[in-house]
Homo-oligomer: A and B are copies of this chain.
Amino acid sequence: MDVHVRDLRYFAAVAEELSFTRAAERLYVSQPALSKQIRALERQLGFPLFERRPREIALTPQGAALLPAARELAAGWAEAVRAARTAGPAESLAVGMQTAVGRELQRKVLARFRERGWRISLRLVNWEDPTAGLAGGGADAAFCWLPVPGVGAELTAKVLVREERWVALPRGHRFADRAEVAFAELLDEPFVALPRSAGPLRDFWLGTAEREGREPVVALEASSPEEVFEAVGAGLGVVLLAEGNARLYPRPDVVSVPVRGLAPSELALVWRADDDRREVAEFTAAFREAAGPAGGGDRHGGRAGQRTRQGT
């Protein structure tokens, strides 16, 4: 019947939450989108999956019968993809990363493994997937900014770098010449946000936790660094970013300034907790020792206080 596996995930989520609204939140999609997809699935199947009663919903007998298969098939496929990857050349790893390119620590370790003949394929994954391909079997390890959903459960994370959050501003901005900014001063600024599907990361880079309930002003959403800087450079909004990334992406029309009053950001190496292949163990161990016990000295010199100016 040519179903999309995504719809199976949706189905399972609604069945677990027994609520479209809650399931939609968990899946990082809007409630109408979820509603529509489930209805389409029911229509395709020819029988209802849920009984919509006021105040609550319940699985129909058919839905209950189908649920285990849906879960199992989705999980089985992800597992098969991982297994298939190991059928490729030995000592090869797929490493996902979401823009965390360029930090010294990673470069060195990756280079070392490459020299030893490993085939490390770096897969640049966009922000739609907060686990950078780990959940779906698309990667064996990933450099992710925390928080990542699933860490502590099916995923294990090792913090590599802890960096202050800075803010990127258009050149002419009234804070562009400041040595630093208090986050409280930014509360009413229009922000460039990650897409909703980025999950908790979106909130993190909007500083939601530090806003004490005040809604952020989202000027627009962007799903790649280029888009973000384009938007900031054009004066459409400002954006938080890790100190290291402020250096990494020099752009003519963008200025970055440290922000006081924000918890630091953490770049971590993440892998599947139940993945016991030698390659993964060796790879992650290399980082664990390089980063030290406490998890991540700052490899980038100059902490907050000295600011960089980018542009001509």
Cβ contact within 8 Å between A88 and B138 = no
Cβ contact within 8 Å between B1 and A2 = no
A6–B4 alpha-carbon span in the complex (Å): 8
Query: By CB atoms of chain B within 10 A, which of A1, A44, A77, A138 has the most?
Result: A1
A81 lies within 8 A of chain B by Cβ:
yes
A64-72, A152-160, A276-284: which lies at the interface: A64-72
Q: Mark A221-260, 1 if CB is under 8 A from B, else 0.
A: 0000000000000000000000000000000000000000
Cβ contact within 8 Å between B138 and A44 = yes
A83 lies within 8 A of chain B by Cβ:
yes
Cβ contacts under 8 Å, A84 to chain B: 45, 47, 62-63, 65-66, 69
With CB as the reference atom, state the residue of chain B lying closest to A89. B61
A159–B128 alpha-carbon span in the complex (Å): 52
Q: How many residues of A contact B (CB 8 A)?
A: 41
Smallest CB–CB gap between A72 and chain B, Å? Answer: 7
A80–B76 alpha-carbon span in the complex (Å): 14
Cβ contact within 8 Å between B77 and A3 = yes
Chain A residues 136-170 with CB under 8 Å of chain B are 136-139
Cβ contacts under 8 Å, A308 to chain B: none
Partner of A46, one of B4, B69, B77, B94: B94
Partner of A87, one of B6, B62, B86, B138: B62
Cβ contact within 8 Å between A81 and B4 = no
With CB as the reference atom, state the residue of chain B lying closest to A2. B6
| With A4-B4, A45-B81, A62-B84 already in contact, 20 other A-B pairs whose C-beta atoms are closer than 8 Å | A1-B5, A1-B137, A1-B138, A2-B4, A2-B9, A3-B4, A44-B138, A45-B85, A46-B123, A47-B84, A47-B94, A61-B87, A62-B88, A64-B87, A66-B81, A69-B76, A69-B80, A69-B84, A73-B77, A73-B80
What are 26 residue pairs bridging A and B, where the CB atoms are less than 8 Å apart in the complex?
Answer: A1-B133, A1-B136, A2-B5, A3-B4, A5-B5, A46-B85, A46-B94, A46-B121, A46-B123, A46-B139, A47-B84, A47-B88, A47-B94, A62-B84, A62-B87, A63-B84, A64-B87, A66-B80, A66-B81, A69-B80, A69-B81, A70-B80, A72-B76, A73-B76, A73-B77, A76-B76
Q: Which A residues are within 8 Å of any B CB, using their own CB?
A: 1-6, 9, 44-47, 60-66, 69-70, 72-73, 76-78, 80-81, 83-88, 94, 121, 123, 133, 136-139
3 closest A-B pairs by CB: A69-B80, A1-B136, A65-B87
